Amino acid sequence: MKGRVAVTGIGAVSCFGKGVKPLWEAVLEGKSGIKKLKRFFPKGHRTDTGAEVPLDKNRCFLTLASFWSVVSAEEAFHCAQVESKDLLKAGVFWGCSSGGMREVEQVYKKVLKSKTSLKPFSYQMYNSAADSLARHFSIEGPVVTYSTACTSSAQAIIEARNAILEGEIEIAIAGGVDSLCELTYAGFNSLRAVDPDGCKPFTGLRNGMSLGEGAGALVLESEERVEIFNKKVLAWVTAGVSTSDGYHVTAPHPQGEGIRNAISKALEMSGRETIDHINLHATGTKLNDISEWRGIYGSLGDSAKEIPLFAPKVYIGHLLGGAGGIESVLAVKTITDSIIPPTYIDSVPLDPEIEGKLVIGEPLVEEVESVLVINLAFGGSNTAIVFER
């Protein structure tokens, strides 16, 4: 492997609508997109809220997940000033957890009532969103879907970077998507892993996550291509590591061993001893947050206490398979704009066991040379990605 991998474009679809701009403005202002659900009524559940995308499907034969993938990628390609001819040999590396499950649920209800076409069941294929990207943009390079639960899109970014470094491709669209569906919503409620009052990560009041949906896309290009075409670089992806806890199907390792290993390897890969800012996974569950902090502290030591932290799920909810994509978009914006969003606008009682430095109140304006993005998942999957100016 030689050279570096650049981020030249970013795109997003979130609970704040289409585009990176409304997403970024909302988190800087401390606005939450977690509200009462409208797409379906979660009767009998612990919660009835989520961070829904106010962007309905308007393209024939696309699920919400596929539609949002295309929309976020269009913005990213436009940002990167990529021409259609450049995409012929590009690659798609996309993460997804529930795919088109929402549409399948709707069809299944119709099947129970009367005869109807079974064709929409094909939408449930996990690779449907990535394949939609390939068809829409006429991409003929590798098209790969990653489904590692909540690290899916982070894993996709890591593998896209690896493919570029190996010389397999020169340009990739990487990230991921997920849409809310009744099955997923019911599952997390049955686990009692959701907070009826909204997630409160890293606080002593945390009582579960808030679910969300959307898509995040990054255009990645080789350093050689960037130099040849004099491309504007938003950030460099200097490291991407995945590890496993090898511990439990849902619970994280109590001491955060897996994430500690991922962070330590990512720092070594990027040639750094510390980091300027951390974009946390921070779901707001009792076990996840303390495990994540122990992993961070285990890798960085006392310096971890002084690193500004941001927990984006407070505003956009947990996008599950799409989390790493949209959170990486926010990390890139932190670098380009030299500003770190606040996790909370008002003072909150932080967990005394977590000695991290959450940004609270106003956004923190300072030069950010490097950002670590952490994502964790059921099954013990951990990812750590380093972005640098």
What's the pLDDT at 1?
55
Which residues, including other chains, have CB under 8 Å from residue 302's CB and lie 6 or more apart? none
Q: Tally the domains of the chain.
A: 1
Helix (H, G, I), strand (E, B) or coil at 341: coil
pTM of the model: 0.93
**What's the pLDDT tens digit per position in 168-184?**
999 999 999 998 887 78
Pair 173, 167: CB distance under 8 Å: no
What's the pLDDT at 229?
94
Kindly compute the dihedral angle of the four CA atoms of residues 287, 290, 296, 300, in this order, to the nearest 10 degrees. Answer: -150
Q: Of the candidates 178, 166, 176, which has an alpha carbon nearest to the alpha carbon of residue 141?
A: 166
What's the pLDDT at 278?
98
| Domain harbouring 292, CATH code | 3.40.47.10
What's the pLDDT at 247?
86
In whole angstroms, how large is the CA radius of gyration of the chain? Answer: 19
Can you list the residues of the chain whose pLDDT is less than 50?
A: none
Question: Which tokens in the block code for residue 223?
Answer: 């350093």
Evaluated on CA atoms 356, 357, 361, 364, the torsion sign reads negative
Which residues, including other chains, have CB under 8 Å from residue 130's CB and lie 6 or more apart? 69, 92, 93, 94, 96, 143, 144, 145
The continuous run of DSSP H or E covering 24 comes out as helix 20-29
Judging by DSSP bridges, how do beta strands 364-365 and 339-340 pair with one another?
antiparallel
Considering the chain, what is the average pLDDT of its residues? 90
Judging by DSSP bridges, how do beta strands 357-358 and 370-377 pair with one another?
unpaired
Taking the C-alpha atoms of residue 73 and residue 48, their distance in angstroms, rounded to an integer, is 30
Whole-number Cα distances in Å, 344 to 32, 146, 165, 203, 369? 10, 32, 38, 10, 23
Q: Which domain holds residue 64?
A: 5-388
User: CA 349: distance to chain centroid?
Assistant: 26
User: CA 72: distance to chain centroid?
Assistant: 13
What's the pLDDT at 250?
78
